Amino acid sequence: MSDNQNLLAEQRRALILDEIRRRGGVRVNELTRKLNVSDMTVRRDLDALARQGMVEKVHGGAVPVSEPSAHEPGFEVKSALELNAKEDIAKAAAEMAAPGSAIALAGGTTAFALAQQLLDVPDLTVVTNSVRVADVFYSAQRAAASGGAGPRAGAATVVLTGGVRTPSDTLVGPVADAAIRSLHFDVLFLGVHGISVEAGLSTPNLAEAETNRHFVRSARRVVVVADHTKWGTVGLSSFATLDQVEVLVTDAGLSAEARAEFAELPPELVVAGEQPVDADL
């Protein structure tokens, strides 16, 4: 069987990881059929995921591993996970950013996807502690300038906080905290490491937790953007309760059990990619 060349290695591994998490484990022969790749390719992918600590290899396949609460994967690792879900979430969340408003974008790969959807929203003021998010807006400006068009009309004004850089390319610490404390946002779009009823919103990085607390306090409205794999995950440090969140934007992979739990919680649940149910029907 020839390898499927339409999938990059990182994309293929993201699909494998999602399948393992969703089903609690998979066999090599199942993955070869599903992905239309060779047995050797699947085994190499599982080896790579095992080296990253994302899965545990067992005879004939792999199972998920429980991550330590203080483990923080790097940006490149996380950016390859749940690609379609993040795109759906980003499109839905972008509709909540009004032209001319002041918004905050905290760090993370879902916020990075959202930034790309916000490029066409005019006259935004964007405050971010994410190097990657800031670069999305800066790159758009440079591209327009190199084409001779000059600055993009209505382009976002971007404020990048200072701070200490985390593995997720997020700036945290006292410098970032001081910058955020002095500002006020119409909407905060917040990616998270984990969400649970008991722990609320959490992260494995203590300094990032403190910076996120300042983001939440400075925002009139908090919108959490998180794919379904974040539900039930608990990081080392909690930084907000669920009653501090107005909206959770997630994807269609959210389980029926999680949706039932969320029905009893304060935030509005928006499932990206699904049509809302009309209560009158």
Residue 165: predicted pLDDT: 87
Q: Is pLDDT above 60 for 79? A: no
Instruction: Give the mean model confidence (pLDDT) for residues 144-148.
Output: 72
Mean pLDDT of 7-21: 81
Would you list the DSSP string of 53-102?
TSEEEETTEEEE-PPPTT----HHHHHTSSHHHHHHHHHHHHTT--TT-E
Residue 80 to residues 57, 77, 110, 223, Cα–Cα distance (Å): 20, 6, 11, 23
Residues 79 and 14: their CA atoms lie apart, in Å, by 9
3, pLDDT greater than 90:
no
CB 123 within 8 A of CB 153: no
CA 142 centroid distance within chain: 25
Closest of 158, 173, 244, 162 to residue 211, by C-alpha: 173
From first CA to last CA, the distance across the chain in angstroms is: 49
Instruction: Identify the band that residue 172 occupies on the pLDDT scale cut at 50, 70 and 90.
Output: very high
* Residues 207-226: tens digit of each pLDDT: 999 999 999 999 999 999 99
Rounded to two decimals, the pTM is 0.71
Helix (H) or strand (E) holding 213: helix 206-217
Q: Tokens standing for 103?
A: 């918004």
Q: Cα 58 to the chain's mean position, in Å?
A: 29
Which domains are delineated in the chain?
9-64 (1.10.10.10), 75-271 (3.40.50.1360)
At position 112, the amino acid (one-letter code) is: F
Whats the size of the chain, residue-wise?
Answer: 281
The token duo for 20 is 């393992």
Amino acid at 90: A
pLDDT at position 73 is 52
* Predicted local distance difference test score (pLDDT) of residue 152: 66
Instruction: Quote the pLDDT of residue 20.
Output: 82
Task: Say if CB 250 and CB 229 are below 8 A apart.
Answer: no
pLDDT of residue 160: 92
Residues 54-75, mean pLDDT to the nearest whole number: 66
- pLDDT for the residue numbered 75: 45
